[in-house]
Structure 1
Amino acid sequence: MPTRPRPEPGPTQIPHFGLYGEAGSIEDPAFVHIENITSRSSAHGWVIKPHRHGRMFQVICMFSGGVEVRLDEQVHALQGPWAITIPPGAVHGFRFEPDTVGMVLTLAEPMLTDEAHRRSQPYFETLLSTPKTIAFEQNGALLAQLQHFLQQIDREFNRPDTGRALMCEWLARAVLMTLRRQLDLHGISAESATTPSATLAAFRQQVETHFRDHWSVVEYAATLGTSAARLNRLCKQLLDKTAKAVPQERLLLEAKRRLIYTRSNLDEIAYDLGFQDPAYFSRFFKRNTGLTPGRFRSENNFDTTPE
């Protein structure tokens, strides 16, 4: 099991899980993990109690057997080949039939939402918005394709070959595109999104578009048709952080990327990220990391010498 719960929750709380028990956010956009349903569930009597993940997107692909799955407030009984998609923040729990066969694919949310992957967002938005159960035909071509991609990810994940992380990321996108095509085949890819996890997904998409604009929580809430107070409650409930922290963390992540991977000077980075005053950018960065931007760049071994 790659997950374990945080400290024991109160009686009215839903456990919030992190990969390998980490309480912090996952910043690696190339993160992919895969395991089979048996190794994940058999040791727990084939039951996974209701819980949620903050910044992980999960796909449960069941090839044979059965499961009773809770997704937010709905319960589904599924038999045979199904895929279950679980966006960040969605409450989910499982009661598998013994010897159910399938795979569990876990992806770091930044891999699916950051600016570098904007082209794929229109295809995957429906998968990221709400939990979904996706039926497959037993001998269908898309099921065979899904199994093939998952087997390839499993092979890459367990072999230290060159470019393993990139290969896993590319194959994970192929899995998601296969799921999207199966949704289209059943004519349900455009279904409405009204659940709390859908609101959270929409908020993250707005953050990705506007984090450089330094929007307030009130401005984000207005675009989502909700109140700042409700958005803040939602983030605290599903992410264990305030709504204000979400765009702040995205801004900080982009600053780190610019400092490590570009040759822009500090003033250019500050202005590109929407700071009107480079000194304020430096204070923002140090307040959140304990380091000045220059020190952070130096400690990450970035060579600013012109080629």
Structure 2
Amino acid sequence: MKNSQTDNSNETSPIPLFALYGESGAIEDPGFVHIENIFSRSSLHGWVIRPHRHGRMFQTICMYRGAVEVQLDETVHRLEHPCAITLPPGAVHGFRFAPDTEGRVLTLAEPMLTGEHYSRCAPYFAPLFERPHTFALEAPLLGQLQQLLEQIECELNRSDTGRALMCEWLSRAALMTLRRQLDQQGLASESGSTPSNTLVGFRRLIENHFREHWTIERYADALGTSPARLNRLCKRLLGKTAKTLPQERLLLEAKRRLIYTSSNLDEIAYALGFQDPAYFSRFFKRTTGVTAGRFRSDNNFDTTQESP
């Protein structure tokens, strides 16, 4: 049920980008929710889902029984049940499940999580959307999460009044349960407990414009604040300067393209907005300590399986 879709934010994405059903309008539905069991898709592909990413979808995989080897960008995690994996929009991920693994996959349209009624939720959900997480599911939150996912599935299979609203409420309850599990294990970042709408907006602008190499002054102007205030906010909540965030996003995209595509270094440099490939090479070496070529050879994952 997943189809490849063009990433309209830049050139056709060389990393597979998937949308549910392939319906261009469906993902814009602010009430869009989808749920399926792990078996229904993974078993059709030999329990292997090759690396891909979702442009405007948040996804969480809740595994009740079995094991999985999950690849998140250049890192591989080996997990056993019961556990959860959370994947914010844009995160590159691939799976190799143990046969007969059981669990559910909940997918939410990003517009549902950023709409006019989302502001009250943002302080709690921010840690889930900042980066991918892998963590154990523990009682009693495990049972609570299972029940919520079962209720979502039931709602999607019926046509009662208010079905879309019920799915939205249940989905947010599931996200809150995941956030509480992060808290119990000490995985929630400081920015989640002291959130800022400015910081959330900054991250969105970075996602849309990091290839354009915006200056911090331009980001600050778009946010209606000053560069100094934006920098203080990032230092207080994240422990890093404002300039560091777009550089980190640029580096992450460079790593993704080195690992998951066959593009040469010049092509990658131009795709990421560098006018001079030599400057891209210096940027990569300065920020990682290794050359781009060495990084590619050290992280040559097998991505030859058929896409889902």
TM bucket (normalised to shorter chain) is 0.5 to 0.7
After the TM superposition, list the runs of 4 or more consecutive aligned residues in structure 1 that deviate by more than 3 angstroms.
22-25, 199-202, 215-224, 226-238
- Give 1:129's aligned residue: 130
Partner secondary structure for residue 118 of structure 1: coil
Deviation at 1:205, TM superposition (A): 7.9
Whether 1:174 and 2:173 are equivalent positions in the alignment is yes
Alpha-carbon separation, structure 1, partners of 2:222 and 2:4? 31
**Relative to structure 1, is the Cα distance of residues 125 and 205 closer, same or farther in structure 2, using a 3 angstrom cutoff?**
farther
Partner secondary structure for residue 35 of structure 1: strand
- Give 2:101's aligned residue: 100
Whether 1:162 and 2:179 are equivalent positions in the alignment is no
Matches within 5 A, 1:1-307: 1=1, 3-6=2-5, 13-22=14-23, 26-137=27-138, 140-190=139-189, 202-204=202-204, 219-220=221-222, 223=230, 225-226=242-243
Deviation at 1:73, TM superposition (A): 2.2
Contact 1:67 1:78 in 2 (8 A): yes
- TM-score, L = length of structure 2: 0.63
Deviation at 1:115, TM superposition (A): 2.8
- Give 2:212's aligned residue: none
Contact 2:85 2:132 in 1 (8 A): yes
Deviation at 1:229, TM superposition (A): 8.4
Contact 1:206 1:220 in 2 (8 A): no
Partner secondary structure for residue 184 of structure 2: helix
The one-letter code matched in structure 1 to 2:183 is: D
Using CA pairs below 8 Å that are at least 6 residues apart, which structure has the higher relative contact order?
2
Contact 1:129 1:201 in 2 (8 A): no
Alpha-carbon separation, structure 1, partners of 2:248 and 2:186? 31
The one-letter code matched in structure 2 to 1:181 is: R
**Relative to structure 1, is the Cα distance of residues 71 and 188 closer, same or farther in structure 2, using a 3 angstrom cutoff?**
same
Alpha-carbon separation, structure 1, partners of 2:103 and 2:201? 26
The one-letter code matched in structure 1 to 2:144 is: Q
Partner secondary structure for residue 117 of structure 2: helix
Contact 1:218 1:227 in 2 (8 A): no
Structure 1: tracts of 5 or more residues without a match:
194-198, 208-214, 243-307
Deviation at 1:204, TM superposition (A): 2.1
**Relative to structure 1, is the Cα distance of residues 127 and 232 closer, same or farther in structure 2, using a 3 angstrom cutoff?**
closer
Alpha-carbon separation, structure 2, partners of 1:91 and 1:201? 22
**Relative to structure 1, is the Cα distance of residues 174 and 111 closer, same or farther in structure 2, using a 3 angstrom cutoff?**
same
Contact 2:202 2:219 in 1 (8 A): no
The one-letter code matched in structure 2 to 1:93 is: G
Deviation at 1:236, TM superposition (A): 9.1
Contact 2:61 2:103 in 1 (8 A): yes
Contact 1:67 1:94 in 2 (8 A): yes
Alpha-carbon separation, structure 2, partners of 1:72 and 1:176? 23
Q: How many residues align?
A: 223
Q: Percent identity?
A: 57
Deviation at 1:228, TM superposition (A): 11
Deviation at 1:22, TM superposition (A): 4.0
The one-letter code matched in structure 2 to 1:135 is: A
Deviation at 1:116, TM superposition (A): 1.7
Alpha-carbon separation, structure 2, partners of 1:236 and 1:23? 25
**Relative to structure 1, is the Cα distance of residues 89 and 220 closer, same or farther in structure 2, using a 3 angstrom cutoff?**
farther
**Relative to structure 1, is the Cα distance of residues 34 and 24 closer, same or farther in structure 2, using a 3 angstrom cutoff?**
same
The one-letter code matched in structure 2 to 1:157 is: L
Alpha-carbon separation, structure 1, partners of 2:65 and 2:52? 24
Deviation at 1:18, TM superposition (A): 1.5
Alpha-carbon separation, structure 1, partners of 2:35 and 2:120? 25
- TM-score, L = length of structure 1: 0.63
The one-letter code matched in structure 1 to 2:243 is: T
